[in-house]
Amino acid sequence: METTIHPETRIGHVHLRVADLERAIRFYNGVLGFEVTMRLGDSAAFLSAGGYHHHIGLNTWESLGGPPPAPGTTGLYHVAILYPSRAELGDALKRLMAAKVPLEGASDHGVSEALYLRDPDGNGVELYCDRPREEWPTAPSGQLTMFTKQLDLRGLLDAADKA
C-alpha cells in the first residue's frame, strides 16, 4: 500500500560540514544575509532568516581543514534556499555580484527561477523563488511540465530595484 506524507511537511534545516567556520559564516551571514543565532565556540554556528532557531547549521566537528568533496562522489548535490519573492531573489543576486561570488548557472524552470553557485567549501547552493502555482506550466493532463531555460538576470535585478 502506498502512503503519502502530510502536505504541510517541510524540510526544516540543513547542517553542513565545513573546513573553516569563520569563512563559512562570512559567506552565509556576510554575503547571503542569514543571521547567526548561536555559536558553539569555534566549532559550530547556527544561522537563520527571520528569527527561526536555525535554517543552516555549520560545523567543523569532522571536517576542520578538510578538502571539498571530490567530483564524482556521493553526497549533497545542493541545498536549495527558497526566497519569498522575485525581488528578494534579485537582491540576493546583487549581494553575490558585490561579493564577486561566481554563478555556476541561472535557470528558469517554469515553476521557479534559480541561481546556482558553490559556497566556500564547495557545497552546491541553489537560491530560488517559486512562481505562483497558477502560473506553473502543465500538460493538458494536469501534470507539471517543468523545463530549464536561461534565466533573465537583468529582469531579476530590475525586480530588486523596483521593490
Domains along the chain with CATH numbers: 13-64 (3.10.180.10), 78-163 (3.10.180.10)
Task: Give the pTM.
Answer: 0.93
4-57 pLDDT per residue, tens: 988 899 888 999 999 999 999 999 999 999 999 999 999 999 999 999 999 999
Is the confidence at residue 137, as pLDDT, over 80?
yes
In angstroms and rounded to an integer, the radius of gyration of the C-alpha atoms of the chain is 17
Biggest alpha carbon–alpha carbon distance for the chain: 56
**N-to-C CA span, the chain:** 48
* Identity of the residue numbered 134: E
Write the CB contacts of 110 (distance below 8 Å, at least 6 apart in sequence).
Answer: 131, 136, 137, 145, 146, 147, 149
User: How many other C-beta atoms can be found within 10 angstroms of the C-beta atom of residue 35?
Assistant: 15
